[in-house]
Structure 1
Amino acid sequence: MKKYVVTVCETRQREIEVEAESAELAREAIKERWCQRGHLRLDEMDFDHVTIEAEPSPKQHEKITYLYVPVGKPPEVRTIVNDPENIRGLLKAHPIARLFEEDVALMSQGNGAPLNRALYGEKHDLNSIIQGNFFIVNAPWYQRKYESLTPE
């Protein structure tokens, strides 16, 4: 679901008949009643004009950078709008997730897809083989959202 910032602008207006020596003294009498004593409270019956505007939340435009690794091709740095719907689309195409390094997740197509890359351990021993296209993204364990990979 997309997020929007909605702005409501209300204009209230009420006409009040006042007896006074001049327009200026009439304004001052109402100003005193309204500002100092708080007696003139405008309510929903006094609305003159209401506008409601919606625009995409600034976060909707926030993009994250991830590394996409297609089978048999070099890795590509890609960006995507950090929107749950967009991320779900990536995850549906890459249903297998694993923690790659601290705060970094690897999402791959998984079983039945062609072999792509091998992962080796610290002692250069084969840990696993990644099948299908995959991507790597920053996924801090303490948050429920993805973030851009750092250039490193």
Structure 2
Amino acid sequence: MDEKEVSEMQEEMMTVLVVEPMKAPYVKIIPNELEDLQQAVGGDIEMTYPFEDEVGILLNGNGKFEGLPLNRALYDDRGQVYDAIAGTFLVVGLTEDDFTSLTPEQIEKFKEKYQSPE
């Protein structure tokens, strides 16, 4: 395998934070492919962008309708709950047009944020 092939393989994988209901978040390296992302959240993916950071939450768009357990709340600027995520979700890094790996700083920040199940 040459350097270009190794580089391309690494680009296809990304480091994300997995947040499951009633569990502490953990880091996982997964392929950046639709099927793998859907499998990770258990269904059709949907994105939400509740933070100023270059990250997004990738979740099962039908989680509430499917009766998945509630996971974590989303809060507005005043600290008020405005929604809750049902089922497992991923915190992913963002580029202008795709998902990417979280930085080590982002991993630590969001691990701390979602450390305690709600």
Shorter-chain TM-score: which interval? Answer: 0.5 to 0.7
TM-score norm. by structure 2 comes to 0.66
TM-score by length of 1: 0.53
**Contact 1:61-1:81 at 8 Å conserved across structures:** no
- Specify the alignment match of 1:117 in structure 2: 72
Amino acid of the structure 2 residue aligned with 1:60: M
2:5 matches 1:57: yes
The equivalent of 1:147 in structure 2 is: 100
Look up the match of 1:134: 89
Q: 2:24 aligns with which of 51, 66, 74?
A: 74
Equivalenced residues, count: 94
SS in structure 2 at match of 1:100? coil
1:100 is displaced (CA, Å) by 3.0
Q: Highest Rg: 1 or 2?
A: 1
CA contact (8 A) 2:30 2:36 kept: no
Matches within 5 A, 1:6-21: none
Q: Aligned partners of 1:61, 1:117: CA distance in 2, in Å?
A: 30
Q: Are 1:91 and 1:107, in contact at CA under 8 Å, matched by a contact in 2?
A: no
Residues in 2 aligned to 1:146 and 1:57: alpha-carbon distance in whole angstroms: 20
2:113 aligned partner = none
Matched-pair contact (CA < 8 Å) for 1:66–1:135 = yes
Gaps of 5+ in 1: 6-55
1:86-105 deviations in whole A, cap 9, x for unaligned?
x4322353522212324312
Q: Which residue of 2 aligns with 1:104?
A: 55
Partner Cα distance (1:108, 1:81) in 2: 16
**Percent identity of the aligned residues?**
32
Q: Secondary structure at the match of 1:105?
A: strand
Aligned partner letter, 1:57: E
Equivalent runs, 1:22-101 vs 2, <5 Å: 57-58=5-6, 59-62=8-11, 63-82=13-32, 84=33, 87-92=34-39, 93-94=42-43, 95-101=45-51
